[in-house]
Structure 1
Amino acid sequence: MPIAYDYTRIDTFRTGGFGFLLTTRYFCNLMRNAPIPLILTIMLGTACQKGNSVDLRDKGAQLVVEGMIEDGKFPTVTLSRSLDYFSKIDPEQLLASFVHGAKVTVSNGITTHQLREYSSDTSNGTGTCFYTVDTANILSAFVGERGASYTLRIETEGKVITSITTIPEGRFSLDSIGWKRVEGPDVSKVRLFVKVTDPPERGNYIRYFTSRNKEDFMAGLNSVFDDKVVNGTTFEIPLDAGVDKNKQIEMGDHQFFKRGDTVSLKFCNVDHGTYDFWRTLDYAYNDTGHPFSPTNRVTSNVQGALGNWGGYCVTYKTITIPK
């Protein structure tokens, strides 16, 4: 049985898409020309303290978990080591940061499946390693289901790493997507809008991604929101276009699409732990353009390491904007 996995999404953060192997890079590329791994930026975000002084000395590599499970898909996990901010970042060092030979299991409370390690080249030529379904032991394998919780356990280098996530029910309902022309001389620019219904129960969270003309799914600069203000209502909000955080972003037009674009939206209900991780990481990216603000603290839901183990309840919608 082949692995039901879209290898085009094993890439840098532009994969954004959660069917995805998170990323090996993130926001610190604004601080240096070379792209910087998420494994480093998580370390930097958690290291920031109140005050103006930041100790950038190498505190030693820390284990970083990047894992997800979507409804209808197998779990996927990457395991790597954080890198020192001042170290030279190149493809070889990124590849060397992956942790091999770990015992990685995922349990749905009834069945436990041990994931198998794989490697692949990404579309930009950088190698990556990850753990996902063991096709040689398919009888114990399972895909994600809405409303179910999943326990991740990793044994490596004498350490035990654990985390629990839930794939929520689709309580935030994506009713429709549309577009509006952006006022100004450029009549080709449009803004994506969505109509969403939130139920009376509080505590619902969303993360979203967009794809333009069948390109990779990418998360927006602010990719998550909750229902504190909109609880129990039907509302319409604009959604920025997803961006490749591995590239220099031209602020001002990054949020728009163009007439003639075919736009796909990946709309994901997530639990609070996953929401909080991406909320704080997005904030760290956007806050004055660097991770060293005293207010930056990235929230991990993993015990014994840094990172995130997240469950995603996914809805897709596509719209073609007429020329």
Structure 2
Amino acid sequence: MLRKIGILTSGGDAPGMNAAVAAIIKTGIAKGLEVYVVEDGYKGLVNGCIQKADIAFASEIQSRGGTAIGSARLPEFQELAVREKAVMNLKKFGIEALVVIGGDGSYMGAQRLTEMGINCIGLPGTIDNDIVSSDYTIGFDTALNTIVEAIDRIRDTMQSHNRCDVVEVMGNKCGDLALYAGLATGAEIISTSEDKLSEETIVSQVKKLSEASKRSVIVLVSEKLYPDVHSLAKKIEEASGYITRATVLGHIQRGGTPSAMDRYLATTMGIFAVEELLKGHGGLYVGQQGNDLVARDIQSTLNMARKDKSQVLADARLLNSQV
């Protein structure tokens, strides 16, 4: 019979992680379990940084951004000897199962621990929305709203002064933040990880908009596509005549109070995860499919094909390029 469970957050922080941690703590205690939090992800697990959690802690962190229990990357966790130390620390505290909140890399660790006798359930915590087996990930909605608000503010200035701005957003090889934000804000040019536009194409399109007397232009691009967006802005300015600047939103996208939807998603996933552990299940990943939560085998989720959103991107480009 399951008596003690643990929680850790791994990889980049995401708004809503704390809501998930709080839900797991509250659900576990309500089900008669002792709940422990692992500080600083797998690194803390290996170092034995484990603390018992209570309702007061859960209530305190529920609405906060980031992750109150910390996160850290530990590539060495793929080594068997390192994982054996982690398992030893879990057994020292009597922890029989673990909820891991993070991305694909975090799930691989959860799968390996399950194979070593510690049942693990993974929750998708990443602003990038790059977990293909879930429609949405914890943190994506908040990050998206942060980006939309930032672009709306940038647009005010660009419109006032007849200018262009190149806005770079996160995504880590997934273009959903750029795609969704571009559609929501009417960005004239959108370049994503899945459908990258060349610098020459971007410059040419901005030049056409300038010739058509478009008063302001937003060029929205995913991170890591271009060596230097500030250099791209200079090329646009030279060709189009627009005074052009580049804005890299950076880590502002990760922080902040989680949105209502992220809190809802995180809370329902946290409850679902505890229920799966109580059934004796492990090696599973919780994802959102339509309006339902589903538990899938971690190994299979890592090989799922990404949904094709090329038509949505084509529609966004068509709509937003009109003068």
Larger Rg: 2
- TM-score, with length taken from structure 1: 0.26
More strand by share: 1
- TM-score, with length taken from structure 2: 0.26
